[in-house]
Amino acid sequence: MELGLLIFAGAITGAAYALASLGRTASVPANIGPFLGAMFGLFLVAHVALRRLAPHADGLLLPVAALLNGVGYVFIARLNYKLAGLQATWTGVGILAFVLTLWFVKQARDLQRFRYTFALLGLVLLVSPVFFGETINGANNWLRFGSLSFQPGEIAKIALAIFFASYLVEKRELLSYSTRRIGGVLVPDLKHFMPILGAWLLSIAIMAKGQDLGSSLLFFSLFVVVLYLATGRGIYLGIGGSLLVVGSFFAYQTFAHVRVRVETWLDPWQSADAAGYQLTQSLFAMGSGGVAGSGLGLGNPNKIPVVYTDFIFAAIGEELGLLGTAAILVGFLVLIGVGLRVALKSANNFEKLLAAALTTIIGLQSFIIIGGVLRVIPLTGITLPFVSYGGSSLVTNYILLALLLRISNSGEHDMAAGLTSEEAVAA
């Protein structure tokens, strides 16, 4: 099934690549053969490695990721051909990272023993741009080594997800048990709210020092959601939501870059020739796309600044219309649905929570960037997983996918063996 779906995804990508060239130059691209060969070769390597290293893993995740990656590559090649070669290279590096993750991580549950190592790694990666970082497109969240730039926050989100899952599996009973009554409502001891308060303060610090609204929102929301999943206590969602509102108001009043983002979101037209230019051009592009789009290669998405990263969803909306953007959304919904199914099937509590956390990262990141492009929420400037241009994002998402598939393999194996959660831990 996986191989068949990969061939289908490759056929869609190849057809889209040819159509995009026909729309621009009225000719089939000369490199269509090498392009298809390289693409099929990369994902065939991923498929063979997955079936050998994790034979029981779900067969749907890799093809959906390949399709999103392929569609994203087609649009990057159509928007900036110089970046197409870099994105192809990063796709190869991502597949290599995918295979190496499956090779070295034999059991995802083994990662639980290194919780504080991952916590330290995640914190170091988050704060490193503050001292050694470089500001690109207004956000100080990049590190540069020679000609190579990358976002350490991309790796940090996986490291912190592992730490959150491990910590909350151990502390969930304490965090679930209510010992105090406030206003007629039983709540856990106040000292157990310190982790959520710490996550809130750290997210504010990230926003302040790095001017990185997207990572701050992603990091804090991830912690609150995983805390809720671990305990089942709705009060944590309420407290997290309240802290999010308070933090947002504080950031709006204190930081000029946040205030500009919010004001642009509320009324982009008042600054359509300045701060609101990018968003208004995006809205025009998506509006002109209509239901079926202008056609691949027939739109003008290059009028949107930095369209191949933050606004690639708008480019898809212009040239593929509502149908194309809905297909992308369905792709992400399938990833999220399968990821949550992987979590439900896992017999090991740590793997169960880690799978949910990794799936939450994909879901939150997709919502944050697509919501910003559609003006549902203020624009935050993070990438669309597997679709946007960006090496660090693409490689990190393939590592995340490999971990999710490793958990899927263990869950299917444990379920077939009839192991309970305790027996899975012992195994």
pLDDT at 387: 94
Same domain, 245 and 339: no
Question: Rounded to two decimals, what is the model's pTM?
Answer: 0.90
Return per-residue pLDDT of the chain as tens, 427 residues: 999 999 999 999 999 988 988 877 777 776 777 888 888 899 999 999 999 999 999 999 999 999 999 999 999 988 887 888 889 999 999 999 999 999 999 999 999 999 889 988 888 888 777 776 666 655 566 677 766 777 888 888 999 899 889 988 887 777 776 666 666 666 666 666 677 677 777 777 776 666 667 778 888 888 889 889 988 888 788 888 888 888 888 888 887 878 888 899 999 999 888 888 999 999 999 999 999 999 998 999 989 988 988 899 999 999 999 999 999 999 999 999 999 999 999 989 999 999 999 999 999 999 999 999 999 988 877 889 999 998 889 999 999 999 999 999 987 766 665 555 555 555 5
Same domain, 342 and 427: yes
- Please check whether residue 81 lies inside any domain of the structure: yes
Same domain, 231 and 293: no
Domain end marker among 199, 230, 254: 254
- Please check whether residue 261 lies inside any domain of the structure: no
Domain containing residue 40: 1-104+267-427
Per the structure, the count of domains in the chain is 2
Same domain, 99 and 158: no
- Please check whether residue 262 lies inside any domain of the structure: no
Same domain, 281 and 423: yes
- Please check whether residue 260 lies inside any domain of the structure: no
- Please check whether residue 316 lies inside any domain of the structure: yes
Domain end marker among 199, 233, 254: 254
For residue 320, which of 276, 367, 355, 288 has the smallest C-alpha distance? Answer: 288
Distance CA 275, CA 47 (A): 44
Provide CB contacts within 8 A for 15, sequence distance 6+. Answer: none
pLDDT at 189: 66
Same domain, 341 and 413: yes
Same domain, 272 and 410: yes
Same domain, 99 and 118: no
Same domain, 290 and 250: no
Same domain, 118 and 99: no
- Please check whether residue 259 lies inside any domain of the structure: no
- Please check whether residue 405 lies inside any domain of the structure: yes
In 276-374, where does DSSP find H-type helix?
A: 277-289, 312-345, 349-373
Same domain, 343 and 400: yes
Same domain, 5 and 48: yes
pLDDT at 186: 62
Sheet holding 148-150, edge to edge: 134-136, 139-145, 148-150
Contact 230, 220 (CB under 8 A): no
- Please check whether residue 64 lies inside any domain of the structure: yes
Burial of residue 344, with CB atoms counted within 10 A of its CB: 0-12 exposed, 13-18 middle, 19 or more buried = exposed
Domain end marker among 208, 229, 254: 254
